[in-house]
Chain A
Amino acid sequence: MSAPAIRTRELTKDFPVGFWRPRPYRALDRLSIDVAQGDVFGFLGPNGAGKTTTLKLLMQLVFPTSGDAEILGRPVGDVAVRRRIGYLPENPYFYDHLTAEELLEYYGRLFGMPAAERRGRIAATLDRLGIGAERRLQLRKFSKGMLQRVGLAQALLNDPEVLFLDEPMSGLDPLGRRDVRALILELRDAGRTIFFSSHILSDAEALCSRVAIVAKGRLAGAGRLADMQEFAVKGWELVMANVPASALDRLRPRARGVVTIAADRYAIDIAPDGHPEGLLRELIAAGATLVSLNPVRETLEDVFVRRVSAVGDGARPSAGEGRPR
């Protein structure tokens, strides 16, 4: 069996807080995860959970207080392994006075790409990210969304085996989000490993084969999203218009509740085993019109709060607590 694409063991990071008498603040507490090659791995958590700290530890932008991490079987400090990875930081920023082409030229040289290959890769990557004539503009003239695309372009320039994306949808409009989702799926189909952090559950649902949830610096859960109990469907919300009174009376005993939204528009709360398809068929046959049908799940925030509460009292662990010996 091949080595995991990413592996962390008891990875811990404390930051000093305070000027005169700095005290350690634990940003990440003994994180141990394995990401298999070819996975699209969602690293989920609310703001301040430790997602960016983890990514920075993996990129050696910060150094661990204890524990270790490997990428493709090599220690994260190994410069050679960086030829095989790509990284998009959160809200990326580059050099104001370089053009997108020049930026990629700069990075391409650092990867040691020969000139002809470099030119080809730069053009192909910019095309892939939808950066057209703007590629010859200085980056200070780019919008946030365009900078995000440039960020993705530089992360993909070396055709990486493992791609690290920190909040990749940040700053993108709906079209941009759709493009990035398509890109991630395309890379997955090409056998690439993608590790992306997000606080948006819908992104994870649409893309991830596996997820880990961090909250307050600790791993609060990991596995396949579908297998995680909290994300199982808790019921269905069916919204119908033009519902005849007789049909409404017939469905009331089979629903957990019916709320009137407008004159003839109703929100019907159906239990998870309440077969919404059958109800929907009957209502449409009675002359009603479908407005929407949505699964009811707990929010990611709810899961964080409960998972963390189950671990302790919900407070972030202090730096001294539970440190590996």
Chain B
Amino acid sequence: MVTEINGKPGGTVGKADKVDRLAELSARHDSDAEGGSLLREAFGRLRRSPMAITGAAIIGTFVIVALLAPFVVPYDPAAQLWGREVQPNHNVFVGPRAENWFGLDHLGRDQFSRMLVGAQNSLLVGVIATLLGFSAGALLGGLAGAAVGLGGAWGRRLDTVIMRFVDMMLAIPSLLIAVSIAAILGPSLTTVMVAVGVAQIPIFARLLRGSMLAQSHADYVLAATALGVRRRRIVLGHVLPNSLGPVIVQATLTLATAIIEAAALSYLGFGNPDPATPDWGAMLADAQRFLVGAPSLAVYPAVAIIITALGFTLLGEAMRESLDPKLRK
């Protein structure tokens, strides 16, 4: 550090000293400036977002409960161990007590055990339905987007055919698509997964194609084209990876939708009839019949569904915000 000052140019203080001092002051000025790549910046914003933290915490808890459920579950969720204590027809239900923390369901099964195992099955439904919708939708949308990007009359024709099909499916509400599929497959847990997943395909397809088209108009694509980079490399190496952001956000949000729609399908009677593998949707649907006498039977799975869906929605929305360049400060 230089404390002694000589103001005259070319004075006794050497040039090196004044450069050092300048560097130090510049560093002090820049101390709170941020740097880094777009993605890292987005991730940095995500980590500081209270929405994302809350969402991630909820999802984390949900996943841990789901994974540990088979090991910690106190009773067999399918066994009607206390069947005689409950008489739904005479409005006799058993609420929370020392041995059954959440009370008993309408058949005398331990509600707490069913909630734990239900977490596992609901997670399974959400993840598999989303994976199905995501992969098939991304395949269709990516194919259409790449077909346009790779150009040619055939590419555009392929795109038109795919997108007409997708638009057709979008014109029918997704729950009705799910209902018609569920009707074919008959009630089961697999039905719910497939029906909910297939209903999400057009959304993912449209999103990825739109995102790819938007990216293909970006300046860097023009630059790469001008530099003579091969089209296939531009589309697959640059456009596609850069277009995935909104699709991943949508997948996170779909995890929430899938769990809710699964419940709706259960309510319409296409849910899982197997008592050994309860899921929250089926539990909520079953409990609808006893809403007046034992509202808590519905409230446990309902609250679980709402909170879990909220977790995925919060994380998804926070991701969307952090990826949006317009919202950057």
Chain B binds chain A: no
